[in-house]
Structure 1
């Protein structure tokens, strides 16, 4: 059993416990497919860059966190895994009891692949989405869906951009699928969203895209006056994101000026 405190940077950290297999001693992992796709940084920025231009059309930026993702995989392991009971719960069972692991658990090398297959299939079949040509972790809704949405998948974290119909459809299908998840984080001027290693903050200037560590600096600049296009001050630059609109044929070209942190 592995216990840790999550959210130490927040006012209400929580204790988290996981049942983890000692995969570091697993010699068989060399012979199994153990890789799952990773969302590219460019794909993360695409959704954030499009959001200001589409905000006037009620397009919303949000983040979703699946709880205990690996153990919610729908596929079974392709090999036999036998494990000892952890000492924290061993006294609850007869002596010499062992565990036959059927579904993916944390610590097994192939668990990430099983979860990716489950979550990717869910988005394609239930949300009527298809992967982009340059990053299969970045998906966009098809005409069949009847709504507009973009999703970036990073293991158990999801960064999304969509209209009201898509957000409602995503919420409904998530409940039908039975995935345990935290409440959706919707970006507002009062509430930033956190995705993997960066914050997105909405304010009078537009959206800030910040890698963790500079968030306090950003909040101090919430009331800053709008700078002229192209000017830079204290690490913040105003840029034109009209080029991003070419990625979506379903929307007219609406150049929007927004602000972002200069990336390291």
Structure 2
């Protein structure tokens, strides 16, 4: 009798075992291979269109949104401007092929950015003092006269060298209390030692600032990144940089070379 009961339960156990490979196959269908994933991304801008977190790996970028939330338009920041990106939506992730240095997410007037941060350089181990360094035979190693130590890092300034006002900030920030793009650029120009007067805003109206964002420490890159948010707006504009450190902002369809029309210089 006991043998008959065991024979009856045997098919049920085999059926249960057959279910396991199906669950494994379901995970593989997600397209997320095992490996190293980089979470060193910085989020900035309007939280209403920003993802919860961003990570990349295996040639793809994952942007995580709250379940049921409709993702905004997604663009890659390139030297020539914003490039629309296609993606695969697999909740809660929006998956993009490729790894871009910076991504822009925009929904109407709300703009957010995600930027991939460079990995911190690994410091070389400190060399032992000359009095303790020795060769194979225990003989102290003495550097020849006039020899300079090799280093891949740039020389640090002298300890007594004071920082001047010409030093640019670590990052440029757009946000309150500035209410317009013109006010942001005027403050940035003053901090970076550039000239941006009211007449250098060659646009027929001010453009309001929506939200806040951080931009790279390079003045030109920060200005380009800020004004790139207007490329899909009703009044797109572009920056013009001149050799005498003057910044002008003109409509996107207008050339920066004023000599082609009026012969005047900024």
- Name the TM-score, length of structure 1 as normaliser: 0.21
Largest Rg, 1 or 2: 2
Q: Which structure has more helix as a fraction of its residues? A: 1
Highest RCO, 1 vs 2 (Cα 8 Å, sep ≥ 6): 1
